[in-house]
Homo-oligomer: A and B are copies of this chain.
Amino acid sequence: MFKKILYPTDFSDVAHKALDFIICLKDAGAKEIVVLHVIDKGNFDAIARYATKDILEIEKNLKEGALAEIRPIEEKLQKKGFKVKVIVSRAIPVMEILRVEEEENVSAIVIGSHGMSNIAEMFLGSVSEKIIRRAKTPVLVIR
């Protein structure tokens, strides 16, 4: 029931707290974790509009930054015996989480609520509410 878990993270404290709960779910059958970081398209577009640099370079930098932040998460999960898949995308967070939920055919979503991103303010309070309204699978919301 918790076999394959989607873990959207904005690298906030509450997202890291959610990770501890995922690790706890190992004994309840969790095997594979899809770690997802969404670079908010809305924020990105707003930045890109006034950018002096090439926007492709900005996107590349953001993605590299995100991957660097994900690496220790990936290692932590692998050490605990989980299979890990990492996805970083530029999209609308709620839409992307629901898209990956379906595409990866996950069995549950574990998400921190009211997190603020280190890179950009991403998951506002309403993200988790929209997720539980529209997700097909169980959602564990960590405060």
Out of B27, B132, B137, B140, name the residue touching A128 (CB < 8 Å).
Answer: B132
A95 at the interface (CB under 8 A from B): no
Cβ A138 vs Cβ B140 within 8 A: yes
A120 at the interface (CB under 8 A from B): no
Question: Given the complex of chains A and B, what is the CA–CA distance between A125 and B138 in angstroms?
Answer: 14
Residues of B within 8 A of A29 (CB): 24, 27
- 1-33 of chain A: CB within 8 A of chain B: 1-2, 20-21, 24-29
A91 at the interface (CB under 8 A from B): no
Cβ B28 vs Cβ A27 within 8 A: yes
Residues of B within 8 A of A143 (CB): 132, 135-138
